[in-house]
Amino acid sequence: MIKPHGADTLKPLLVTDAGEHQRLTAEAATLPSLVLSSAAAANAVMLGGGYFTPLSGYMNIADALSVSRDMHTVDGLFWPVPILNLAVDTTAIKGAKRIALRDPNVDGEPVIAIMDVDAIEEFSATEKDAMTEQVFGTLDSSHPGVAVFQAQGNHCVSGNIQVLNLSYFESEFRGTFKTAVEIRDDIAARGWEKVVAFQTRNPMHLAHEELCRMAMERLGADGIAIHMLLGKLKAGDIPAAVRDACIRIMVDVYFPENSVLVAGYGFDMLYAGPREAVLHAVFRQNMGATHLIVGRDHAGVGDFYGPFDAQKIFEQVPEGALDIEIFSADHTAWSKKLNKVVMMREAPDHSPDDYVFLSGTKVREMLGNGIAPPPEFSRPEVAQILMDHYRAEAG
């Protein structure tokens, strides 16, 4: 199986020994505590599950600036996005060397991790802006990732962590949320060697389904891992539970048995386009995938990135920095001429009128009115789940 990034074995930071967990839980009650931002809590979940191997905690300012600027830490580890614990106010932990980190996304703000504090530093406004522009490609506050990142504060609390739980993901998404450790074990149990990962934060329509088939067939893969984001999204995105139901019925009805692994991960969407695409590659390698599908507008939002910027950035990845390979895809849609889904770049004789293509706005309007999109666009079973969702939202 493919090796994890920067290590021979996975490095999950979740404490699984019952005695040690009990001891740390008791200790946490005696420590100064910091309520994390949602983004920092999601970073803890990813660290806990081994997705961010080989990191052992949150980055300091020097590493964060180096990663933002050059996509590597001060010590030379390739990494595309700073993994930070930013806070607006650190008064409660001033001078502390060991602290409890509290989860803002669970009632009562329980302790999610214990941290050995290496440093409490403060980004200057200039540093924070430079980092924002390098990671997101813009300082425009209408970009949802920029707005969230800028609101997290400038205090940087760095150091190693021991993770005590995986937030709300285990209870709310039982059977779907999986750690990198669990996915590697699943891949091994299935006997898969070549595994294609498909990233999604949306329900999958027919074009997505066919893109997965294309990648599997062209790469000669043993299986595909449909890996959905389960964390915080921008307003208007489809809730994770609805997406999960859509994907599962599509897989159950339309894919052969033991050809698809459906799982989710606990992370808040950054909408960082190219940089987030590289982060997706890093943690898909850690979960055991050998290939990642990177399509048009991967991890993007609005018009902030070019349609293929998320593919082009991999040309900047130093040789040998990643073992996972990229399957570069174009937009896929149903061809009226060929009566099948095609990649647009592979149909040079087509005009826009030769495709069945619906805008997101049009699809939402149809679903909200109880009208199923045509079968060339969406499977009827998927459309029904989405229509039920929009009907329930409308009351």
- pLDDT reported for residue 165: 98
3-state secondary structure 222-281: CEEEEEEECCCCCCCCCCHHHHHHHHHHHHHHHCCCCCEEEEEECCCCCCCCHHHHHHHH
How does DSSP assign 16-49, residue by residue?
--HHHHHHHHHHHTTS-EEEPPHHHHHHHHHHHT
- pLDDT reported for residue 235: 74
Residue in the structure block whose two tokens are 């993007």: 300
- pLDDT reported for residue 387: 93
Residues making up the chain, counted from first to last: 395
- pLDDT reported for residue 91: 96
Q: What is the CA radius of gyration of the chain?
A: 21
- pLDDT reported for residue 236: 74
pTM metric for this prediction: 0.95
CB–CB of 264/229 below 8 Å? Answer: yes
Calpha distance 322→183 (Å, rounded) = 19
Calpha distance 279→55 (Å, rounded) = 13
Cα-based angle 365, 273, 304 (whole degrees, multiple of 5): 70
Query: Rounded to whole angstroms, what are the CA distances from 54 to 57, 143, 193?
Result: 9, 30, 22
- pLDDT reported for residue 361: 80
Number of H helices, E strands in the chain: 13, 15
Q: Give bridge partners of residue 340 from the DSSP assignment.
A: 335
Calpha distance 328→315 (Å, rounded) = 12
Query: Rounded to whole angstroms, what are the CA distances from 276 to 166, 213, 225, 270, 310?
Result: 22, 24, 18, 7, 8
- pLDDT reported for residue 357: 85
Successive 10-residue mean pLDDT values, the chain, 395 residues: 97 98 98 98 98 98 98 98 98 97 97 98 98 98 96 97 97 95 98 97 92 97 97 81 94 95 96 98 98 95 95 96 97 94 94 88 87 93 93 81
Tell me how crowded residue 116 is: count the other CB atoms within 10 A of its CB: 14
CB–CB of 240/205 below 8 Å? Answer: no
Calpha distance 32→156 (Å, rounded) = 16
Task: State the catalytic residues.
Answer: 201-202
Calpha distance 50→15 (Å, rounded) = 12
Q: Domains for the chain: give ranges and CATH numbers.
A: 18-170 (3.10.400.10), 175-394 (3.40.50.620)
CB–CB of 231/269 below 8 Å? Answer: yes
3-state secondary structure 61-95: HHHHHHHHHHCECCCCCECCCCCCCEECCCHHHCC
Residue in the structure block whose two tokens are 């970009």: 143
Secondary element (H or E) of residue 369? none
- pLDDT reported for residue 286: 98
